[in-house]
Amino acid sequence: MQPSAPPFDERLTAPRSWWLIAFGVGVACALMLLPLGTLPMLGGLAGGTAAAAVVVSSYGSARVRVIAGALVAGEARIPLSALGDAEVLDAEEARAWRSYKADPRAFMLLRSYIPTAVRVKVTDPDDPTPYVYLSTREPQALVTALAGVPA
């Protein structure tokens, strides 16, 4: 009996500075509505900030999980049996694999504000995807979970 993979769950949240930018969008909306009066200005501040915060939150809601014998990355669910070796990519290698080394057929869940990543080969002969590229702040923990080795 093969040991089950240790659980892995990571949310690729947006950096804190993006929340300040969202507030700045609200301030810009308020300034655009300032000539219309105080109430429209406050509405612009609240509405602009809320709209920008929704965008930041949705972009940062992507998750990478290893659960129930599958890798779940964003909306993709890939059985671990269809995956091969996983490789930890440091910041320099991750940048290379998301730019000039990238294969257009690859599945990539990347966030440029996360410097490290994991590249996992896809071994399923019926799948044209050569590898899966996943941004992660904990690459070694993800590789361990994919290998099914207890932490």
**pLDDT of amino acid 6:** 57
Give 102-121 pLDDT, tens digit per residue: 999 999 999 889 999 999 99
In a domain? residue 49: no
In a domain? residue 139: yes
What is the value of pTM for the model shown?
0.79
Neighbours of 41 (CB within 10 A): 17
- Domain span at residue 125 reads 79-147
Residue 3 tokens read as 């040991």
In a domain? residue 95: yes
Sheet containing 63-67, strands listed edge to edge, beginning at the edge strand earlier in sequence: 8-11, 63-67, 70-73, 76-79
In a domain? residue 33: no
In a domain? residue 100: yes
In a domain? residue 35: no
Question: How many structural domains comprise the chain?
Answer: 1
Whether residue 22 is predicted with pLDDT greater than 90 in this model: the reply is: yes
In a domain? residue 62: no
Give 118-148 pLDDT, tens digit per residue: 999 999 888 899 999 999 999 999 999 988 7
